[in-house]
């Protein structure tokens, strides 16, 4: 037993901690198998991997909802009585009790069936996407929808079944609150996008010059280490859809995609996933093998990826430091491209079909559409059969584009194949949080731009580690956000950031952006 641990204050806490650690080990093993499925697993192992994941998820769920967990929780709750609410032992008991109450509502058979179906659906999605054949994936999507409706009913909700699903990723958030916020954003974004789309677009063809994959891998790892990601406690690999997975605080896996004719896409995907990875690596090690060793919410997690990808990674100070190194590293590819031209190109606003390649201004419109569609699917107002057409119509309405292939449309994202209904809104919530956090960083570190120009990202990372990362799930996202910024979630900092940045980049459109 570690006598320095904040949980080593009573035998009841030790017992609860040991019990939870075994459950977290099972979940980590499942996460490792899922990472392997997306990176190195041979295609022929799909069926057996589905069974393996079903077993691990069912066992972890059964162990967690067992009467023993409830008994240990009661004993631990008695042991922490009288301690201040910020004590980590108190936080552990409160978070685990909430998780326990929710988990006991979901039958183990449903957990296992979801895990099996999700594993099979991921492979069906990959095939459907590769072959541009929606019918390959549609039956799995039907099954996942039915299972998620069943899960929502098991979890319970006051107003809308989507609330129960959303709460898994953004605790406390409701469908109604998201809808109000997203309607406000759509009203601002659609005319803003149109105003910018009418302006001459910066030249960007040089971003598609050939860069050998091995050079890109070396470049991505160079940038990762420069911003503080520890490759001794993490790694970077390739996958169809970039993602990050925290197996443990000391084992954080990132993936990216490498395109020889689009090095910027892979680089910014790496920066995005690095934001997630820095969060996972920054959690206080004393929380390891407890349910607190995770992000407070998917929205807060996304705030970290969007902050590093966009507010830092697409900023001029960042590239004032890195651009000479980029030119040197790419060995002649950008020798005829100025810093100003490069900066304008990576911040070019152009409505596009692919969410992960969307610019800062148009990105949220992609999320608003997905939210609208998956709520309609859960409600039963939209059928799986009609989903591709609804997708295409929504893209035409919001972005003035219509996909020519299913890969560019309804099959572009992996999330629904993972059964992750309720996940998409967290991307926009994270965007909003990122700007709110960045405003606080600029107020706390007034010379933050100068630090970036020198390639010193330690002050930024230290602030984030202190305010957000180290806490893990000890506090809910709204609490951490308000403690860090002094304000509850607000769209105004993000809208202000976008207007200011793009007024400078597109001065002819300034009147439309004010």
Catalytic annotation, residues: 273
Main-chain phi, psi angles of 202, to 5 degrees: -60, 150
**DSSP symbols for 132-149:** T-HHHHHHHHHHHHHHHH
Could you tell me how far CA 83 lies from the centroid of its own chain? Answer: 34
Contact 256, 273 (CB under 8 A): yes
| Percentage helix, strand, coil for the chain under 3-state DSSP, each rounded to 5 | 70, 5, 30
Write down the H helix ranges in 347-405.
360-379, 387-399
Please report where in the chains the tokens 């069936």 appear, as a residue: 113
Q: At what angle do helices 46-65 and 88-103 cross, to 10 degrees?
A: 110
Main-chain phi, psi angles of 237, to 5 degrees: -135, -175
Written as six digits, the tokens of 475 are 């506090």
256: three-class secondary structure by DSSP: strand
Dist CA 395 CA 412 (whole Å) = 13
Dist CA 321 CA 299 (whole Å) = 29
End-to-end Cα, the chain, rounded Å: 59
Main-chain phi, psi angles of 224, to 5 degrees: -55, -50
In this structure, how many other beta carbons lie within 10 angstroms of the beta carbon of residue 317?
A: 16
Dist CA 449 CA 446 (whole Å) = 8
Sign for the CA dihedral angle at 346, 351, 352, 358 comes to positive
Contact 360, 310 (CB under 8 A): yes
Could you tell me how far CA 488 lies from the centroid of its own chain? Answer: 20
Name the β-bridge partners of 235: 253
Dist CA 96 CA 262 (whole Å) = 44
Residue 328, classified by CB atoms within 10 Å of its CB into exposed (0-12), middle (13-18) or buried (19+), is exposed
Note the maximum CA span of the chain.
69
- SS3 track for 55-70: HHHHHHHHHHHCHHHH
Contact 438, 309 (CB under 8 A): no
Q: How many residues does the chain have?
A: 514
């Amino acid at each position: 037993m570690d006598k320095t641990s904040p949980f080593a204050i009573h035998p009841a806490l030790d017992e609860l901690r040991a019990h939870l650690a075994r459950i977290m080990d099972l979940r980590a093993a499942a996460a490792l198998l899922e990472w392997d499925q997306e990176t190195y697993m041979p295609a022929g192992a799909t069926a057996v991997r589905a069974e393996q994941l079903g077993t691990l998820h069912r066992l972890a769920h059964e162990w967690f909802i067992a009467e023993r967990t409830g008994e240990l929780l009661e004993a631990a709750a008695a042991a922490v009585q009288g301690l201040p609410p910020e004590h980590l032992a108190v936080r552990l008991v409160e978070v685990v009790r909430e998780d326990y109450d929710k988990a006991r509502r979901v039958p183990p058979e449903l957990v296992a069936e979801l895990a099996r179906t999700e594993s099979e659906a991921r492979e069906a999605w990959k095939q459907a996407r590769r072959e541009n054949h929606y019918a390959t994936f549609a039956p799995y999507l039907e099954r996942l929808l039915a299972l998620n409706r069943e899960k929502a009913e098991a979890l319970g909700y006051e107003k809308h079944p989507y609330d129960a699903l959303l709460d898994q990723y953004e605790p406390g958030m409701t469908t109604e609150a998201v809808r109000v916020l997203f309607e406000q954003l759509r009203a601002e974004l659609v005319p803003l996008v149109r105003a910018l789309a009418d302006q001459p677009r910066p030249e960007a063809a040089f971003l598609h010059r050939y860069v050998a994959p091995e050079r890109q891998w070396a470049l991505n790892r160079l940038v990762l280490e420069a911003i503080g990601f520890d490759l001794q406690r993490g790694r970077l690999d390739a996958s169809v859809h970039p993602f990050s997975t925290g197996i443990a605080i000391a084992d954080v896996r990132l993936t990216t995609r490498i395109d020889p004719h689009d090095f910027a896409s892979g680089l910014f995907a790496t920066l995005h996933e690095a934001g997630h990875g820095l969060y996972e690596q920054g959690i206080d090690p004393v929380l390891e093998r407890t349910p607190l060793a995770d992000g407070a919410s998917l929205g807060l997690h996304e705030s970290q990826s969007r902050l590093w990808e966009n507010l830092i990674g697409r900023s001029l100070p960042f590239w004032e430091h890195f651009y000479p190194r980029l030119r040197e590293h790419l060995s002649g590819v950008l020798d005829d491209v100025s810093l100003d031209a490069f900066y304008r190109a990576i911040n070019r606003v152009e409505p596009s079909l692919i969410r992960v390649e969307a610019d800062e201004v148009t990105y949220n419109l992609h999320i608003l559409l997905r939210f609208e569609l998956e709520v309609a699917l859960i409600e039963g107002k939209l059928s799986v059969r009609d989903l591709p057409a609804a997708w295409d119509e929504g893209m035409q309405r919001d972005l003035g584009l219509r996909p020519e292939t299913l890969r560019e449309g309804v099959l572009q994202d992996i999330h629904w194949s993972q059964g992750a209904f309720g996940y998409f809104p967290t991307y926009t919530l994270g965007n909003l949080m990122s700007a709110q956090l960045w405003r606080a960083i600029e107020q706390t570190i007034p010379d933050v731009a100068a630090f970036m120009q020198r390639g010193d990202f330690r002050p930024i990372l230290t602030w984030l580690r202190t305010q957000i990362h180290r806490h893990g799930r000890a506090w809910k996202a709204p609490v951490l956000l308000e403690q860090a910024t002094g304000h509850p979630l607000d769209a105004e900092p993000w809208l202000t950031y976008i207007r200011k940045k793009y007024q400078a980049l597109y001065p002819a459109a300034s009147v439309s952006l004010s």
